[in-house]
Structure 1
Amino acid sequence: MGGTQYAGGMNRNTCRSSYKVFIIFAAWSSHVEEADEKHLAHEGEDEMVELAERFQNRFPQILPEVYTNSTFQFRYTATQRTVESARHFTVGLFGRRVSRQVWFPEATYRDPVLRFYKLCKRWQVEVDKNPHSLLERMKFEDGPEMSAALKDVTFRLGFNETMSTGDARLLYITCAFETAWDHRAQSPWCAAFSESNMKVFEYAEDLEYYWIDGYGYNITYRQACPPIKDMMQHFLAEEIPGGEHKAPAVVYFTHSGTLLKMLAHLGLYRDENALLHSNYHTMGKHRKWRVGQIDSFGSSLAFILFRCNKQLKVLTLHQEKRVTLPGCPEFDLCPLNALKEQYRESWTDCNFDHICGLPPEAA
Structure 2
Amino acid sequence: MRLFIAAVLATAVAGQESCLSVDENPYLLFGSKTAYLFANHALSTNRVHEIPGCLPVAFWLASRHGSNNPEASEITKLQHLADLKANIVDNYRNGNFRNTNRRICSTDIELLQRWQWIPYINTTFANGLTSEGYMTTQQLMRAWKQRYPGLLTDNPHDYLVKYVEEPLYSASFRASADGMFRGPTEGLDIPRDNDEKGIRPYKFCSAWKSNVGENNDTLSQMHIFQSKQEYKDMITNVSLRLGFNYDINPDIVYSMYQMCRYNKAWDNAAISPWCAVFSREELQLIEYAEDLETYYKYGYGSPDTPKIGCTLLRDMIGFFTKHIQHDPDPQQPRAQIHLTDSEMLLMLLTTLGTHQDPAPLTGDNYHTSPVQARKWSTSRMSPFNANAAAVLYKCTTNGNFQGKERYQVLFLENEYPMYLEGCRVGLCDWSYIVSKFGELANTCDLGFCNSAVKINGFSALFVALACFVRNIF
Q: Normalising by the residue count of structure 1, what TM-score does the alignment of the two structures yield?
A: 0.90
Q: Which of the numbers 431, 451, 462 marks the counterpart of 1:358?
A: 451
**Counterpart among 424, 438, 460 of residue 330 in structure 1:** 424
Matched, 1:182 2:277: no
More displaced stretch, 343-352 vs 82-91: 343-352
Deviation at 1:287, TM superposition (A): 0.6
Partner of 2:141: 52
**1:91–1:99: 8 Å Cα contact kept in structure 2?**
no
Distance 1:217 1:360 in 2: 13
Distance change (3 Å), C-alpha of 1:332 and 1:101: closer
> Does structure 2 conserve the Cα–Cα contact (< 8 Å) formed by 1:300 and 1:319?
yes
Q: What is the match of residue 265 of structure 1? A: 351
Structure number with higher relative contact order (C-alpha < 8 Å, ≥ 6 residues apart): 2
CA distance in 2, matches of 1:314, 1:266: 13
2:151 is matched with which residue: 54, 59, 62? 62
CA deviation after TM superposition for structure 1 residue 345, in Å:
2.0
Task: State how 1:1-363 maps to structure 2 within 5 Å.
Answer: 3=12, 8-11=97-100, 17-31=104-118, 32-64=121-153, 66-69=154-157, 71-98=158-185, 100-105=187-192, 107-108=194-195, 110-112=196-198, 114-241=199-326, 245-282=331-368, 283-309=370-396, 311-326=406-421, 328-331=422-425, 333-353=427-447, 355-358=448-451
Relative to structure 1, is the Cα distance of residues 84 and 232 closer, same or farther in structure 2, using a 3 angstrom cutoff? same
State the Cα distance separating 1:166 from its structure 2 match.
Answer: 1.5
- Alpha-carbon distance between aligned partners in 2 of 1:361 and 1:313, rounded to the nearest angstrom: 41
Q: CA deviation at 1:177?
A: 0.9
Contact 1:213 1:221 in 2 (8 A): no
Distance 1:284 1:37 in 2: 35
Name the CA shift for 1:244/1:230 in 2 (closer, same or farther; >3 Å).
farther
Separation (CA, whole Å) in 2 of partners of 1:159 and 1:165: 13
Is 2:211–2:454's contact at 8 Å kept on the other side of the alignment? no
How far residue 206 of structure 1 moved from its aligned partner, in angstroms, is 0.9
What is the CA RMSD across the aligned residues, in angstroms?
2.4
- Pair 1:49–1:360, CA change in 2 (3 A): closer
Alpha-carbon separation, structure 2, partners of 1:116 and 1:298 = 20
- Matches of 1:315 and 1:106 in 2, distance apart? 25
Bigger shift: residues 98-107 or 285-294: 98-107
Structure having the higher Rg = 2
| 1:245 partner letter | Q
Query: 2-side partners of 1:264 and 1:360: how far apart?
Result: 22
Q: Deviations over 1:225-271 (max 9, x none)?
A: 12111111111122224579341111111111110111111111111
State the SS of the aligned residue for 1:135: helix
Secondary structure, counterpart of 2:97 in structure 1:
helix
Contact 1:203/1:284, CA 8 A, preserved across alignment: no
Contact 1:225 1:347 in 2 (8 A): yes
- Kept after mapping to 1: 8 A contact 2:156/2:190: no
In 1, Cα distance between equivalents of 2:187 and 2:289: 42
Provide the C-alpha distance between the structure 2 equivalents of 1:278 and 1:101, rounded to a whole number of angstroms: 54
User: Partners of 1:35 and 1:215 in 2: how far apart?
Assistant: 37
3-state SS of 1:229 partner:
helix
Deviation at 1:315, TM superposition (A): 0.4
CA distance in structure 2 between the aligned counterparts of 1:261 and 1:138, rounded to whole angstroms: 22
TM-score, normalised to structure 2's length? 0.70
CA 1:160–1:361 in 2, change beyond 3 Å: closer, same or farther? closer
Contact kept, 8 Å, 1:141 with 1:165, in 2: the verdict is: no
1:360 positional shift: 8.9
Corresponding residue SS for 1:174 = helix
Shift, 1:131, TM fit: 0.6
Q: Give the % identical residues.
A: 26
Q: Which digits, 9 at most, give the CA deviation of each residue in 1:264-319, with x for residues without a partner?
A: 11111111111111011114420111101100001111000001126100000110
List runs of 5+ in structure 2 lacking aligned partners.
1-10, 17-94, 398-405, 456-473
Matched position secondary structure for 1:97: coil
Distance 1:303 1:22, change over 3 A: same
Contact 2:420 2:426 in 1 (8 A): no
Give the Cα–Cα distance (whole angstroms) in 2 for the partners of residues 77 and 23 of structure 1.
Answer: 43
1:117–1:123 contact (8 Å) kept in structure 2: yes
**Residue 237 of structure 1 contacts residue 246 of structure 1 at CA under 8 Å; is this kept in 2?**
no
**Which ranges of structure 1 fall in alignment gaps of 5 or more residues?**
none
Structure 1 segments (4+ residues) deviating >6 Å: none
Quote how far apart the aligned CAs of 1:38 are. 1.3
- Aligned-pair distance for 1:150? 1.4
Q: For 1:111, what is the secondary structure of its paired residue? A: helix
